[in-house]
Amino acid sequence: MPRSFAPLRMTSEVMAVPRTSENVLGRKEGSGLRKPEEQAKTPRFVPELETEIAGIRFQNPVWTASGTFGYGKEFAHLMDLNQLGAIVVKGISPEPMEGNPAPRIYETASGMLNAIGLQNVGARRFLAEKLPFLRTLRARCIVNVFAYSTEDYVRCIEILNEGEGIAAYELNISCPNTRRGGIVYGSDAKLTEEVVAAAKKAARYPLIVKLSPNVTDITVFARAAEAAGADALSLVNTFVGMSVDIETRMPRLSNTTGGLSGPAIKPVALRMVYQASRAVRIPIIGIGGIATLEDALEYFIVGARAVQVGTANFYDPGTSVRIVQGLRDYCQRKRLQLSDLIGSLKLPDGSAPRPNE
Amino acid sequence: MRSSANIFQMRDEIVAVAENQALTGGHFLLSLHSPRQAQATRPGQFAMLRMLGRSDVLLRRPMSIYNVKATSDPARRGSPGDSPAIIQLLYKVVGRGTSLMSELKPGDRVGLLAPLGHGFLEEEYLPRAHEADEILHVAGGIGIAALLLPAKRLAEAGFRQRLFFGGRTSADLVGVGDFKPLVRATLFATEDGSAGSRGFVTKPVEDYLARHANKKYLLMACGPWAMLQATVQLARRYRHSCLVSMENRMGCGLGVCLGCCIRVEGSGHEAYQRVCTEGPVFWAEKVIWDVARATCPDASGSRS
């Protein structure tokens, strides 16, 4: 009997590349559409994808969404993580969480339902075991923060404040799959203000607030978060949905309901990003069903300063890197800077939406 | 938690269909040309198959890797030294994904993420295999797909093996010919009595364990939750070791969606382990079996 049944072959693990001054300092923003005589002088138009949000510079505006990309390392052997603008890690709570019983996911038409229940290693183990790897990447690390109460959100942030190499926090007030916390805060404007103000006060790093789409008027929550001191908004989290097994007449998920994500939600999510970007002055990060370059471009055009790729990471891990490349090609072809694209929606009556600056 | 060193052999590739052969009872044997993935495969691992250009069927489908071989052409057997170039997936049409799969034709392309997970012959399991007088494979329906490669490798290494194979009807008993040269005997059970004994596969397993109470066995089981649970109870009662290959819905196969987690001994965030990464093969005693609706009720096809 052989001791080992197959040789262990190590294939290309991503080389750790330290951050250099180039990508931190960045260049001056381009001037957008150039006149023909200028083109003759500079035949090669180089689009600038670098983007600034909450005082942090990102090498490009394509990020991976929380809960769909683990802690980054899981994808290191499948793609070049250094091509990403940022990695938003799985929701981190002050203490480890065990999550919900199976079944936790169910595929629906062009989408999926999930009720994972925020299973995670907790803030201290995140700092000790996950952050050191993320720090070596050119992609920025954004930590999604979850808790059951305002005090615990603050406590989680205070633990994470000890970590070096975190670019920003993403405050998760929108997870629909836990009994307490999350969406409870994200569907009550007063609680949104309360928790954002407390988190902002505690946070050593800029604060992005991730909004829930399960509200009647997204602009109320966008404004509440802005008023309470949020540096940026990301939206949307998943839509609460359900599915029933007609043979057993039981819900398909142990949690009964779950969050719907994937291409199915994109038109609704896009509408909400459009509305929110007209309601607030802080930057918006668009999330919801992004699987192609075209999807991402739509979000930029309605006002998103960056986008997050979520569910597509599950079935096609190369999606986000392809979008980065595609975005560069698109800007090159259109001779547009990213900054000219953002919020460039042309409305039928000729009016332009208020730029999101 | 288990080391994830295995993931470095995993590749995400677009591969061509070599053959998609219809078997009995709505089963198919899909042969995919993918030399690098075939060569990296260890017994009991699985693959995630993606139908390309179908955004209505979004997620990949987890499938046991049934077999790897040098060529899918039975006329050209390939010489014994040939390295594997074909990955074979044995599946049953149960839903939209597998229905689309059944329409695949030679030359069609699919996405394949493979090989994935920890199989039956991990280093930590081998001492128990060596201690056993015989390896008992227990398969329910399409669960058979996880067991051929372990049986082949164990047969090459000279282990005594026996197969217990149950299904609803005789048409579910696919792949039996492949096991024939590897095992000393195969015992069948069907719910309608059309082949072997009538009833569940655990009945012949129990008879066998009762008849040979002084022997030491290692059970390797794959099938529906209820069958696994009953098999595990038998193994416990007769004091034999038992490895189970678990099924669950999966979102990614990469260990990040946490959709496939099952309840295991432990607490905190370690109370749940990922079938795709820590599994799919677990020691039976590690799994918490009496959780309500621990797995999806319609999980009769492949792993999802």
> Mean pLDDT of residues grouped by 10 in chain A (357 residues)?
37 36 37 50 81 96 97 94 97 93 94 94 96 97 95 97 97 82 84 96 98 96 98 97 96 95 98 98 98 98 98 96 97 94 89 54
Distance of CA A182 to the CA centre of its chain: 16
- CA-nearest residue to A255 within chain B is B293
Any chain A CB within 8 A of the CB of B100? no
Asked if B257 and A315 come within 8 Å (Cβ–Cβ), the reply is no
The single-letter code of the amino acid at B295 is: T
- CA-nearest residue to A263 within chain B is B55
- For residue A86, the distance in angstroms to the closest alpha carbon of chain B comes to 17
* Distance separating the N- and C-terminal Cα atoms of chain B: 24
> Which residues in chain B have Cβ-Cβ distances shorter than 8 Å to A247?
297-298
Q: Which fold has domain B123-286?
A: Rossmann fold (3.40.50)
Distance between CA atoms of A150 and A252, rounded to whole angstroms?
32
**Burial class of residue A267 in the structure, from the number of CB atoms within 10 Å of its CB (0-12 exposed, 13-18 middle, 19+ buried):** exposed
* Residue length of chain B: 304
**Burial class of residue B162 in the structure, from the number of CB atoms within 10 Å of its CB (0-12 exposed, 13-18 middle, 19+ buried):** buried
Answer whether A163's CB lies under 8 Å from A129's CB.
no
Distance between CA atoms of A99 and A118, rounded to whole angstroms?
5
Any chain B CB within 8 A of the CB of A315? yes
- For residue A59, the distance in angstroms to the closest alpha carbon of chain B comes to 24
**Burial class of residue A120 in the structure, from the number of CB atoms within 10 Å of its CB (0-12 exposed, 13-18 middle, 19+ buried):** buried
**Which range of residues forms the domain containing residue A283?**
45-341
- For residue A189, the distance in angstroms to the closest alpha carbon of chain B comes to 30
State the maximum Cα–Cα separation within chain B, in Å, rounded to a whole number: 56
| Active site residue ranges of A | 175
Asked if A116 and B257 come within 8 Å (Cβ–Cβ), the reply is yes
Dig out the tokens for A166 from the structure.
């975190």
Answer yes or no: is A237 within a domain. Answer: yes
- For residue B204, the distance in angstroms to the closest alpha carbon of chain A comes to 29
Element (H, E) at A22: helix A21-25
Asked if B153 and A67 come within 8 Å (Cβ–Cβ), the reply is no
CATH code (residue A305): 3.20.20.70
Asked if B40 and A112 come within 8 Å (Cβ–Cβ), the reply is no
Answer yes or no: is A353 within a domain. Answer: no
Of B8, B153, B262, Cβ closest to residue A10: B8
Asked if B8 and A11 come within 8 Å (Cβ–Cβ), the reply is yes
**More reliable by pLDDT, B81 or A159:** A159
Chain A interface mutation, best of B11, B13, B257, highest count of A Cβ atoms under 10 Å: B257
Asked if A119 and B56 come within 8 Å (Cβ–Cβ), the reply is no
ipTM of the complex: 0.88
Answer yes or no: is A14 within a domain. Answer: no
* Residue length of chain A: 357
Dig out the tokens for A284 from the structure.
């918006």
Any chain B CB within 8 A of the CB of A90? yes
B96, HSE (Cβ side, Cα atoms, 13 Å): 14
Top-level CATH class of B5-116? mainly beta
Q: How much is the pLDDT for A44?
A: 79
Any chain B CB within 8 A of the CB of A313? yes
> How far is residue B282 from each of residues B13, B232, B259, measured CA to CA in Å?
27, 12, 17
Q: How much is the pLDDT for B209?
A: 97
Asked if A99 and B252 come within 8 Å (Cβ–Cβ), the reply is no
Any chain B CB within 8 A of the CB of A98? yes
Distance between CA atoms of A52 and A306, rounded to whole angstroms?
9
Please check the confidence at residue B99 and state whether its pLDDT lies above 60.
yes
Q: What is the pLDDT of residues B41-79, one digit of tens each?
A: 999 999 999 999 887 899 999 999 999 998 766 666 556
Domain with CATH 3.40.50.80 in chain B: 123-286
> Comparing C-alpha atoms, which of B261, B262, B200, B193 is closest to residue B231?
B200
Dig out the tokens for B196 from the structure.
């072997």
> How far is residue A75 from each of residues A36, A105, A222, A258, B12, measured CA to CA in Å?
43, 21, 32, 25, 11
> Comparing C-alpha atoms, which of B173, B290, B131, B283 is closest to residue B226?
B290
Answer yes or no: is A26 within a domain. Answer: no
What domain count does chain A have? Answer: 1
- For residue B123, the distance in angstroms to the closest alpha carbon of chain A comes to 7
Provide the 8-state DSSP code for B164: E
> Comparing C-alpha atoms, which of A307, A301, A289 is closest to residue A347?
A301
Answer yes or no: is A295 within a domain. Answer: yes
Dig out the tokens for B231 from the structure.
């098999």
- For residue A253, the distance in angstroms to the closest alpha carbon of chain B comes to 9
> Which residues in chain B have Cβ-Cβ distances shorter than 8 Å to A97?
268-269
Answer whether B39's CB lies under 8 Å from A8's CB.
no
Answer yes or no: is A6 within a domain. Answer: no
- Range with lowest mean pLDDT among A26-30, B87-91, B265-269: A26-30
Please check the confidence at residue B100 and state whether its pLDDT lies above 60.
yes
Q: How much is the pLDDT for B81?
A: 64
Which residue in the block uniquely carries the two structure tokens 């595990």?
Answer: B232
Distance between CA atoms of B103 and B28, rounded to whole angstroms?
10
**Burial class of residue A323 in the structure, from the number of CB atoms within 10 Å of its CB (0-12 exposed, 13-18 middle, 19+ buried):** buried
Which residue in the block uniquely carries the two structure tokens 């096809």?
Answer: B301
Cβ-Cβ contacts under 8 Å between A and B: the total is 161
* Distance separating the N- and C-terminal Cα atoms of chain A: 67
- CA-nearest residue to A93 within chain B is B269
Chain A segment 225-254 residues within 8 A of B by beta carbon are 245, 247-248, 250, 252, 254
Asked if A68 and B256 come within 8 Å (Cβ–Cβ), the reply is yes
Answer whether A139's CB lies under 8 Å from A82's CB.
yes
The residues near B34 (Cβ < 8 Å, ≥ 6 apart) are: B13, B15, B85, B86, B87, B112, B114
Answer yes or no: is A349 within a domain. Answer: no
Any chain A CB within 8 A of the CB of B1? no
Answer yes or no: is A111 within a domain. Answer: yes
Mean per-residue pLDDT, B276-285 = 95
> Which residues in chain B have Cβ-Cβ distances shorter than 8 Å to A103?
248-249, 293, 295-296
- Range with lowest mean pLDDT among A67-71, B75-79, B148-152, B197-201: B75-79
Q: How much is the pLDDT for A232?
A: 98
- CA-nearest residue to B114 within chain A is A78
Of A69, A254, A263, Cβ closest to residue B293: A254
Distance between CA atoms of B248 and B287, rounded to whole angstroms?
13
Asked if A112 and B59 come within 8 Å (Cβ–Cβ), the reply is yes
**Dihedral class, residue A261 (left if φ above 0, else alpha if ψ from -120 to 50, else beta):** beta
> Which residues in chain A have Cβ-Cβ distances shorter than 8 Å to B257?
67-68, 105, 114, 116, 314
Pairing of strands B109-116, B272-274: unpaired
Q: What is the pLDDT of residues B217-246, one digit of tens each?
A: 999 999 999 999 999 999 999 999 999 999
Distance between CA atoms of B21 and A293, rounded to whole angstroms?
37
Q: How much is the pLDDT for A348?
A: 84
Answer whether B102's CB lies under 8 Å from B61's CB.
no
Helix axes A266-279, A293-302, angle to 10 degrees: 30
Answer whether B192's CB lies under 8 Å from B174's CB.
no
Beta bridge partners of B13: B112
Distance between CA atoms of A325 and A293, rounded to whole angstroms?
9
Q: How much is the pLDDT for A220?
A: 97
CB atoms under 10 Å from CB of B79, counted, come to 7
DSSP per-residue letters across A197-232: HHHHHH-SS-EEEEPPS-SS-HHHHHHHHHHTT-SE
